[in-house]
Amino acid sequence: MPRLKIDSTKRRNSELALLALALLLVLAYSATVEATMLDTITPDFWVPTAALAGVFLALHVVIRFLAPFADPAIIPAAALLNGLGVGFLRRLDLDDVSGVAEAADRGAFAGGGGRQLAWTLISVIMAAALLVLIRDHRNVSRYSYTLGLGAIILIMIPAVLPAQYSEVNGAKLWIRFGSFAIQPGEFGKLALVVFFAFYLVRKREVLSLASKRFLGIDFPRGRDLGPVLVVWMMSLLLLVFVKDLGTALLYFGMFVVTLYVATERSSWLIIGLLLFFGGVFLAYYLGELVGGPFANFYDRATIWLDPFSDIDGDGYQLVQALFAFGTGGLFGAGPGGGSPGIIPEVQNDFIFAGMGEEIGLFGLVALLMLYLIIVERGLRAALDVRDSFGKLVAGGLAFTLGLQVFVIIGGITGLIPLTGQTTPFLSSGGSSLMANWMLVAMLLRISDAARRPLASGGGLATAPGGKPAPQQLHGAPTEVIRP
């Protein structure tokens, strides 16, 4: 027991050290921004970083007690991304103020950066609350059907609400009351992963076993295909009604991957990809031929193919983003040294482009590495955790986060057609921050279970030979029986 204690303490200590390093970088970032933009560093430049430090350290303490074996790299990586996001949004605020004095007078919670800081505090507290509430991730499976129903309701509400309560910048993704707005889909995404995981753990046997062989691929029976097709149709419907291709792609990719992980059958991947590309081509040609609800996707594909053909019109945003990336070059203009304000929506979808001008290729690669750390550490937790439900939840969440980063950053760098998505932890907005911190809390909870030594009372019995015993979860078998 003492040895185990040392083990977890060491892990938490490295988390604390990494967190301190992350906060130091955030502090240096805000100092550089002020020095560049105001020619002076205001006496209060440390206040936002101090607020972040307070809440991150609180989270760290909660983890020390409630998830001592959790992966120590996840929180510092997310905190650094979040802190730089707050710093960059504050930097955008400085573009609006004309005088140095006025800028210096800004409070910690003023402007877009201040709002983001407030949301960060709330989000991190929620993540801590989640860790307090859920002591064992397997308990969540009890609420799976509720969560599944909740997810569909959350995702559908904006689509059925009148536009005045749900539409922002042409996308029906919101629930708005006056000046307050939330994006329920961000939370729906999390609930959906949990529901998928639960459903698939129960159904995986029949999905993997009952199949017909055709062209060397094992195809499942038609009635087992049902749920996949339903989710695929839902994604397409979303695409049509909500004009949100990114989310549709995200849900679909999420579902196909959890299905693949659950059944270990690559045929699902092939079917998924065929349906996906089929859907995309169909949407493109319908967009070209009949327009209407498909026109949005067709336009985006056209812009992607040649943004420079319409620099002043549809291509403007993407071209300005490319200019920002190109102007930043390898090393960037330095924090505060660029002109991110030129890119429309730089605080949301295009934040990565705005930062790219100032921190350059090297800075952006570092940011991508932070995302990669979170995603791969999440997948590592999925590999190590012993129950199927935990594997699917952690794998699904981590993969979805990675896919979301790919979809939005691929979009604004011109790699793939642009679809509206938030950049996790960076983009301005409370819903996205909260959902992503809840996602991090789930990953922490599962990685704690994965790394918790078996003897330390994790509730898991050890099979002879030191291998973990198969876990029972609602009667589903954990070992896949190959045909």
Partner 1 sequence: MNAPLRKASIVILVLFGLLFANLNWVQAAKGEEYRTHERNSFRLRDVEYDKQRGNIEVHAGGTSTEAVALSKSTDGRLRYQREYPFGDVYAHVAGYKPVYGTASSVERFENDYLSGQSDELFTDRVRAMFTGEEAAGGNVLLSISKAAQEAAYKELKENKLGVKVGAAVALDPATGGIQAMVSMPSFDPSPLASHTQADTDAAFAAYDGDKAKPLLNRAVAETWPPGSVFKVIDSAAALEAGSTPETMLEAGPSYVAPGTTHEITNASANVCPQQQISLIDALTVSCNTSFSRLGVELGRDVIKKKAQDFGFEDEALTCGNLKENSGLTVATSHVGDVANADGSEDKAAMAQTAIGQKDVRITPLQGAMIAAAVANDGVQMRPYLVERLLGPDRTSTHYTVNPEELRRSVSSDVARDLQTMMESVVNNGTATSAQVNGYDVGGKTGTSQNGITDNHGWFVGYAMKGDTPVSAVAVFLEAAGNGGSAEATRIAGQILKAVTSERGGN
Give contact residues for partner 1 (rule: CB under 8 A): 98, 257, 260-262, 264, 311, 319, 322-330, 333, 337-339, 342, 356-357, 360-361, 364-365, 368, 371-372, 375-376, 379, 382-383, 388, 391-392, 395, 398-399, 402-403, 405-406, 409-410, 413-415, 480
Q: How far is CA 391 from CA 36, 215, 257, 382, in A?
A: 47, 31, 12, 4
Please report how close the Cβ of residue 342 comes to partner 1 at its closest, in angstroms: 6
8 Å CB contact between 30 and 45: yes
DSSP 3-state assignment of 473? Answer: strand
DSSP 471: P
- Which token pair is 331? 């090393």
Shorter beta-carbon distance to partner 1: residue 293 or 470: 470
Distance CA 227, CA 224 (A): 7
Please report how close the Cβ of residue 405 comes to partner 1 at its closest, in angstroms: 8
Shorter beta-carbon distance to partner 1: residue 3 or 312: 312
Shorter beta-carbon distance to partner 1: residue 117 or 364: 364
Please report how close the Cβ of residue 329 comes to partner 1 at its closest, in angstroms: 4
Shorter beta-carbon distance to partner 1: residue 324 or 433: 324
Residues 6+ apart with CB under 8 A from 264: 208, 480
Please report how close the Cβ of residue 254 comes to partner 1 at its closest, in angstroms: 11
DSSP 3-state assignment of 483? Answer: coil
8 Å CB contact between 327 and 338: yes
Please report how close the Cβ of residue 260 comes to partner 1 at its closest, in angstroms: 5
Distance CA 381, CA 446 (A): 6
8 Å CB contact between 344 and 378: no
Please report how close the Cβ of residue 245 comes to partner 1 at its closest, in angstroms: 17
* Residues in the chain, overall count: 483
8 Å CB contact between 349 and 63: no
Shorter beta-carbon distance to partner 1: residue 175 or 372: 372
Shorter beta-carbon distance to partner 1: residue 97 or 122: 97
Shorter beta-carbon distance to partner 1: residue 15 or 358: 358
Cite the DSSP H helix spans in 39-110: 47-66, 74-96, 100-104
Please report how close the Cβ of residue 410 comes to partner 1 at its closest, in angstroms: 6
Please report how close the Cβ of residue 164 comes to partner 1 at its closest, in angstroms: 31
Distance CA 230, CA 372 (A): 31
What's the CA angle centered on 376, arms 370 and 380, to 5 degrees?
140
Of 20, 76, 72, 123, nearest to 369 by C-alpha is 76
DSSP 3-state assignment of 220? Answer: strand
Please report how close the Cβ of residue 454 comes to partner 1 at its closest, in angstroms: 18
Shorter beta-carbon distance to partner 1: residue 70 or 405: 405
Of 133, 5, 22, nearest to 68 by C-alpha is 5
Shorter beta-carbon distance to partner 1: residue 16 or 303: 303
Shorter beta-carbon distance to partner 1: residue 399 or 437: 399
Q: How far is CA 55 from CA 5, 66, 121, 445, in A?
A: 25, 16, 6, 19
Please report how close the Cβ of residue 274 comes to partner 1 at its closest, in angstroms: 17
Q: Positive or negative, the Cα torsion across 123, 124, 129, 131?
A: positive
What's the CA angle centered on 346, arms 345 and 351, to 5 degrees?
130
